[in-house]
Amino acid sequence: MDLTALLLSRLQFAFTISFHIIFPSFTIGLAAWLTVLEALGLVTGRPVYRTVFEFWLKIFGVAFGMGVVSGVVMGFQFGTNWSVFAGKVGPIQGVLLSYETFTAFFLEASFFGILLFGRPRVPPWFYLFSTAMVALGTTLSAFWIMVNNSWMQVPVGYATTNGQFAPDDWLAILFSPVVWVRFPHMLLASYLTGASCVAGTGAWYLLRGEYHAEARVMLRMGLFLAAVLVPAQLFFGHLVGDYVHGKQPVKFAAIEGRWHDEQPASEVLIALPDPAAQTNHYAISVPILGSLIGSMSFTSKEVGLTDFPPQDRPPVAIPFFTFRVMVGCGLLMLFLAWYGSYLSVKERIGEKRWMLWAIFLGFPLPWIAILTGWFTAEVGRQPWAVYGVLRTAEALTPFLTVREATISLLVFCAVYAFIFGFGIYYIYRLLREGPAGRLIEPPIGAVPNRPMSVVHHHEAPTVLAGE
Amino acid sequence: MIMFWVAVLAISLLLYVLLDGFDLGVGMLFGMTNDDKRRGEMLSAVSPVWDGNETWLIVTGVVLWGAFPPVYATLLSAFYLPLLVMLAGLILRGVAFEFRARAETSRWVWDIAFAGGSFVATFIQGMTVGALVEGLPITNGHYTGGEFGWLSPFALLCGVGLCLGYALLGTCWLVRKCEGDVREAAYRLIPALAVGLFAFLVVVFVYALAENLQVIHRWLERPYLFVFPAVSAVAALVAAASVRRRRDGVPFYMVALIFAAAFGTLAISFWPYMIPFSITIDDAAAPHSSLAFMFWGEGLFVFPLMLLYTVINYSVFRGKVRSTADHY
């Protein structure tokens, strides 16, 4: 395959956005969970909630910082590599991103300092409020991003003037039904990421025979939350599928691996799609199930890829496989959450070490599901940047050279690998030290410091207030 | 509506230059000492606020994209390689704040990342402004300069100039926030940096005259522009006096005023162009429906809140920083 500036730019965007999403998807869920923990601690007065809160706050700090630096890059990339896109969609997407910056980033930034170091200085209710505000900030951020991306999937509320997309109905953009199934889908995914990491850490401590009280709280809260959220997530996933079926039939056909019209349609469980021959090899299919999933009918006709001209079809293999990986992760999570919750309620989970191992090793499942889900959504949208109206190839900066695109891709890979390696190592060290590892409260008078400074211990500066 | 967003853009960009300017400056100065205690104090002087400072860069970026899409699209794509380097610098420097204290044997890596990242980011920002002043090769609203269309001796010179400028802001901030060695060292650096900056301005002016840059004509058409150098001169005198008398709080505001005057000079010299001299504000403005939607939400309500947050943040961290190595 020729390495064109287009392909390199797509790879770069895919790489930087995939790297970035790892952190927000974790912190959105974690912030909400921290709020719950803090509220529980206030209401019940049990110290274990406080210990667990302080412990996860440190990890939250490190992940939050990594999300911030990798997010800055995203704001620039639309202009550097996709300047035609940026010029055309700015009146809509630039505006939505500016709302994200104004409403979410400043909310997060202002209350984060209080969250990290303000506990000795503010009343408990205000501390809880600050926690909730950080959670609100992360959630708002996710909201604006989902509005933005949903507009690219199903553009609404606009008119085209001089090749530029001008908004003419903001309510249609903000309250597009697509937003309101995809935003909950992403939010639930983030909550599940938090739940899975918390439960996984609890299982890890139990396996090592450490921090019994904290580990129990983590395991139970993580598992119970997941037990409720996974079914809800499967339901919203189904709704997302419905919108794709209705609004992006060619993406739906690619996900289903359906090359030709079928009536009633079968469902391909697994196969090896062959774009050249426009067929699947080694397919395992269930008759009629395809119609049932697509249209809730036993007889409906479902469209195939060959209904669309080749230049309007997405690549098939990536959406086909990533979708199946995502669903597979979801089903695995359902099993872990339900069976784990059952064992927890029966107080028998400590005896089933294989189950603790499964929960521990299963902590990345939501991340895998999020990444593969986004690959399905984004690759499945191709060859369009804005579905049906702006092709990805036409969105590229016209004078971008192969050399520039190669250099930038290599630089981002190198820098991200470097900081990711260290960041993950520091998080691992915090996890290994455990909830009782280090001092929990900052000394009185310590500065509310930077996000990741929460992991500093030997060099706390002081601001003498009121000078 | 258009003017409102021009104003928000100008305020955000100026705030970015002043606020991230001093912490980038401190980052460069950080590389000039080997003393671990001093380095710790220098970090403490900026660590609680630099994050918020950098957010103003994002604000500038997204307002530009939402309200003036062609400018965002043209500038970012024209400066492809420099922006890549700047982003890499900002990322490495940003995580260095955090990772440095966590590192045990590899602290030197983060020291280099912090000082180097600050320097690179500053240099690129100055170079970008220089290239804009000189004029980007743009025909019919499209950038035509190729990979290195922004590169020129003048642009490089402006890169050096901004390094001097941010370093000066940085020293003034350290004078304000620190005591002891760090404060004294910063005071000693101020005269050299100020002379360097002044020399740079003279060279820039002569170059602009010699090359007959279009910006210079603006000065003849708009003589009121000379207010800005006058303000700067007064500010420089006050700053010099306050440095001599060791009035810690004053120099920072005076240097900030000089920066604001320089900013005002550039803004009015460019007016009504956003990219001189090819794309005007009116050419670039997004449709009314975009600007109005931005105005009635984030403009009218959220933007004042953002300013308020910034004020609160700085008032919480007011006063001198002290190393508390003896605290434990």
B-interface mutation test, from A102, A175, A386, most B Cβ less than 10 A away: A102
Q: Is B327 within the bounds of a domain? A: no
CA distance A3 to chain B (A): 18
Q: Is A31 within the bounds of a domain? A: yes
Nearest to A79 among B51, B65, B94 (CB): B65
d(CA A461, CA A442): 11
Share of chain A above pLDDT 70, in %: 93
Q: Is B325 within the bounds of a domain? A: no
Contact in structure between A151 and A93 (CB atoms under 8 Å): yes
Contact in structure between B62 and A97 (CB atoms under 8 Å): yes
Q: Is A27 within the bounds of a domain? A: yes
CA distance A76 to chain B (A): 7
The token pair that represents A90 in the structure block: 């700015």
Question: Cα dihedral sign for A201, A223, A37, A179?
Answer: positive
d(CA B99, CA B110): 7
pLDDT in tens, A314-344: 999 999 999 999 999 999 999 999 999 999 9
CA distance A92 to chain B (A): 7
Say if the Cβ atoms of A84 and B73 lie within 8 Å: yes
How much is the pLDDT for B322?
A: 63
Say if the Cβ atoms of A68 and B65 lie within 8 Å: no
The token pair that represents B75 in the structure block: 């500038």
Contact in structure between A208 and A182 (CB atoms under 8 Å): no
Contact in structure between A217 and A52 (CB atoms under 8 Å): yes
Say if the Cβ atoms of B102 and A69 lie within 8 Å: no
Q: Is A160 within the bounds of a domain? A: yes
ipTM score for this prediction? 0.90
How much is the pLDDT for B40?
A: 86
Share of chain A above pLDDT 90, in %: 61
Q: Is A162 within the bounds of a domain? A: yes
d(CA B128, CA A407): 20
B-interface mutation test, from A74, A95, A449, most B Cβ less than 10 A away: A95
Domain total for chain B? 1
Mean pLDDT, range A189-199, rounded to an integer: 94
pLDDT in tens, A204-256: 999 998 888 889 888 998 999 999 999 999 999 999 999 999 999 999 999 99
Query: Which residue of chain A is at minimal alpha-carbon distance from B285?
Result: A91
Share of chain B above pLDDT 70, in %: 98
Query: Which residue of chain A is at minimal alpha-carbon distance from B321?
Result: A463
Residue A89: its chain B contacts at CB < 8 A? 69
Show the domain range for B51: 2-317
d(CA A389, CA B198): 53
Tell me whether B149 touches chain A (CB under 8 Å).
no
Which among A108, A220, A56, A145 has a CA at the least distance from the CA of A374? A145
How much is the pLDDT for A28?
A: 93
How much is the pLDDT for A166?
A: 93
Nearest to A99 among B47, B83, B297 (CB): B297
The token pair that represents A346 in the structure block: 């029966």
Show the domain range for A23: 5-244+392-455
pLDDT in tens, B9-50: 999 999 999 999 999 999 999 988 888 888 888 988 888 788
Say if the Cβ atoms of A464 and B57 lie within 8 Å: no
CA distance A71 to chain B (A): 10
Look at residue A182 and tell me whether its pLDDT is greater than 60. Answer: yes
Residue A90: its chain B contacts at CB < 8 A? 65-66, 68-70, 72-73, 286, 290
Share of chain B above pLDDT 90, in %: 55
Say if the Cβ atoms of A69 and B94 lie within 8 Å: yes
d(CA A255, CA A380): 8
Domain total for chain A? 1
Query: Which residue of chain A is at minimal alpha-carbon distance from B47?
Result: A450
Q: Is B326 within the bounds of a domain? A: no
Which among A355, A419, A437 has a CA at the least distance from the CA of A62? A419
A454-458, B287-291, B306-310: range with lowest mean pLDDT: A454-458
A-interface mutation test, from B42, B76, B92, most A Cβ less than 10 A away: B76
Of the CA atoms within 13 Å of residue A69, those in its CB half-sphere come to: 28
For residue B137, the domain's CATH number is 1.20.1630.10
Nearest to A453 among B47, B290, B322 (CB): B47
How much is the pLDDT for A444?
A: 36
* Banded model confidence at residue A436, pLDDT cuts 50, 70, 90: low
Contact in structure between A216 and A223 (CB atoms under 8 Å): no
CA distance B35 to chain A (A): 15
Mean pLDDT, range A368-380, rounded to an integer: 96
Say if the Cβ atoms of A109 and B52 lie within 8 Å: yes
Q: Is A378 within the bounds of a domain? A: no
Question: What is the pLDDT of chain A when averaged over all its residues?
Answer: 87
Q: Is B328 within the bounds of a domain? A: no
How much is the pLDDT for A138?
A: 92
Q: Is A199 within the bounds of a domain? A: yes
Q: Is B63 within the bounds of a domain? A: yes
pLDDT in tens, A84-122: 999 999 999 999 999 999 999 888 877 887 787 677 777
d(CA B135, CA B62): 23
